Chain A
Amino acid sequence: MDYLYYLRQDKMPHIWCDGCGHGIILKSILRCVDKLGWDKNDIALVSGIGCSSRTPGYVDFNTLHTTHGRALAFATGLKIANPKLHVIVVSGDGDATAIGGNHFIHAARRNIDITMIIYNNYIYGMTGGQVSPTTPAHKKASTAPYGNPDEPFDISRLAQAAGATYVARSTVYHVGKMDNYIGNALQKTGFSVVEILTPCPTSYGRRNKEGNGVDMMRYQKENTIGIEKAKNMSAEALAGKIVTGVFVDKEQESYLNRYNEVIKKAQSGV
């Protein structure tokens, strides 16, 4: 496929560091869109603030770079106003689950017809490596110099509990799975979430002595366990492991379908 067809080539070079996984996710999104044959005019890519949230600037869709954490709120209005648009939100772990955590769970509860792709690098990359809601306990960050005292969120479990229609997790190393999950998510009606674990060598890897981007992806390769297999493993055996797979894949009425019923009721005078 022709990636350049989808990229705003005059916006290159991008801001991402060597070894950053964000660009791998971007390519996966483009492959999935290409496979679906969607018209660029019909796609809106919406983000908040962060390294991950710079993705829309590089892609030749309708692109909206909002405020930190609020992409889903803007995207909700946009989707409702123009349901023809395929609305995709990209977000970092901090953007999605710290400042934007409330919008995240409510988008899932509401089952709004949006696909959200979360670039989880366990850290606030853009601002220099502060601790995030997904930084594992005891890991170091610029604001957790003695190790993170908090427990992290499991984003996929959070999305599942909040009611999303489709939830899956992959790493950037497992490109086939990533493509598969993003492709599935884009085709779902309702709120679909794909969490992608992506290395941030600059702000996370270095401080935690996890090496460069390649080292961090090697770790992903060697420590990932499928969700089915993980079900039969003890908590000790799972320590330090990454569990990937499809957490939720169900059919449920989406927000827009529900609201169309509201309109019908209102107009029939019931």
Chain B
Amino acid sequence: METPNPNIKMWQGNVACAEGALAAGCRFFAGYPITPSSEIAEVLSLRLPKLGGNFIQMEDEIAAMGATIGASLGGVKAMTATSGPGFSLKQENIGFAAMAEIPCVVVNVQRGGPSTGLPTHAAQGDVMQARWGTHGDHPIIALAPGSVRETYDMTVKAFNLAEKYRTPVILLSDEIVGHLTEKVEVPPIESLGLTDRKKPTVPPEQYRPYEMDSSDIPPMANFGEGYRYHVTGLAHDETGFPTNNPEKIQAQLERLNRKIERYRDEIVEVEVQYTEDAEILVISFGSTARSVRRAVINAREQGIKAGLLRLKTIWPFPGKEIEAISASVRKIIVAEMNLGQLAHEVEWATRRSKPVVRINKINGEPITPNEIFNAIIRQD
């Protein structure tokens, strides 16, 4: 009899998220229960203490977000996970993490909204909230996994990006991916490219926590390491202290927003299939892209030149990639479980040079391969 490979697991998406976080070095999780994300908290409450880490169930999502940021500032890789209503509650503190440049990972397993909406059904309606949920101009990174294995990989990537760019990173999963069980071959830890925040190399007196260095990403000292500095959500200068100086504020906020835009090529990932000769391009993300894949394969079997473009990174938006890949197609279809949040961005990225057909569903049901196939063959 063959000995079973211990690296092969049957995991649910949410379990893969928890395991990915642990592999990435996450040793602090603060959460508040909400369907369909709670399994992430449950798994971590079991697994973290075994590794000497900490799990804490806070009194609400606002507190969970705050504790996550506090832990990261204390030098521990930290994550929180939630869904729609809880994601709304976290927004003010996500803005704090962006403004104070504190790495952390925020998982949003999307469910139907608005409000309490559809707790146990999937949706993809938080695309714009992930980008603009907190007030003010700020940078953000959001990744959207489409399978269980990818949930693992992207959770690791979320930590790596958070650490590298000193920013909150949102893992925009959805109920289907979160609750799907699939086979996962766990990759070796050496392959994960684990990244840690850049540390100051100067003596404490010279440390500028928000210095305008050439990389736009200032080194980060953890509290307790001898660099006594000030962290605030107020507009601050490079020393970290509040300022009302318009030039300094403008310079800092421009750097803050630039630091992600500038590295977008290193961050953005898309997946393409059958796009070389495609005449019809279907763009999607997350669980919906699974239906798209089926529909595109069905179309190809019938000799229809359809292709798939799956956005793995949602923010920064892969506009450049979409523009390039769609250059030679005659029709674009955007399939998403919302009323066109992605389609709007796609139209913008392609400057409305092609017809963009929208497939939108917001009733908790997944978009089926058939619905997409019909849109592919329809003569618009």
A interface vs B, CB < 8 Å? 11, 40-42, 44, 46, 56-57, 60-67, 70, 72-82, 84-85, 102-103, 106, 259, 262-263, 265-267
Contacts and interface: CB of A to CB of B under 8 A. Distances in A.
Nearest to A39: B226
B76 A65 contact: no
Nearest to A56: B230
Contact of A80 (B54, B223, B224, B229): B54
B34 interface: no
A84 B225 CA distance: 11
Contacts of B93: 66-67, 70, 73
Interface in B37-86: 46, 49-50, 52, 54, 56, 58-60, 62-76, 78
11 contacts: A41-B224, A46-B70, A61-B228, A62-B229, A64-B70, A74-B66, A81-B70, A102-B60, A259-B49, A267-B49, A267-B50
Nearest to A103: B63
Nearest to B230: A63
Contacts of B233: 65-67
Q: 3 closest Cβ contacts across the A-B interface?
A: A81-B74, A77-B70, A73-B66
B230 A78 contact: no
A102 B59 CA distance: 7
Interface residues of B, number: 44
A46 B231 CA distance: 9
Given A67-B93, A103-B59, A267-B50, A81 B230 contact: no
Contact of A81 (B71, B225, B232): B71
Given A81-B74, A267-B49, A44 B62 contact: no
B92 interface: yes
Contacts of A72: 63
Nearest to B223: A62
A102 B58 CA distance: 10
Contacts of B54: 80-81, 259
A127 B140 CA distance: 30
B230 A70 contact: no
Contact of B70 (A65, A74, A102): A74
B63 A106 contact: yes
Contacts of B76: 81-82
Contacts of B96: 66-67
A62 B49 contact: no
Contacts of A102: 59-60, 63
A131 to B, nearest CB: 22
Interface in B213-267: 222-226, 228-234, 241-242
Contacts of A40: 228
Contact of B230 (A57, A77, A84, A267): A57
A82 B59 contact: no
Nearest to B27: A81
A82 B63 CA distance: 18
A78 B50 contact: no
Contacts of B230: 56-57, 63-65
Nearest to A259: B54
Contacts of A85: 74, 223-224
Nearest to B221: A62
Contacts of A265: 49
Nearest to A47: B232
B28 interface: yes
B231 A65 contact: yes
Contact of A82 (B60, B67, B224): B224
Given A67-B96, A74-B66, A259-B54, 16 more contacts: A41-B224, A41-B228, A42-B224, A60-B228, A67-B92, A67-B233, A74-B69, A74-B70, A76-B56, A76-B58, A77-B71, A81-B70, A81-B78, A102-B59, A263-B52, A266-B46
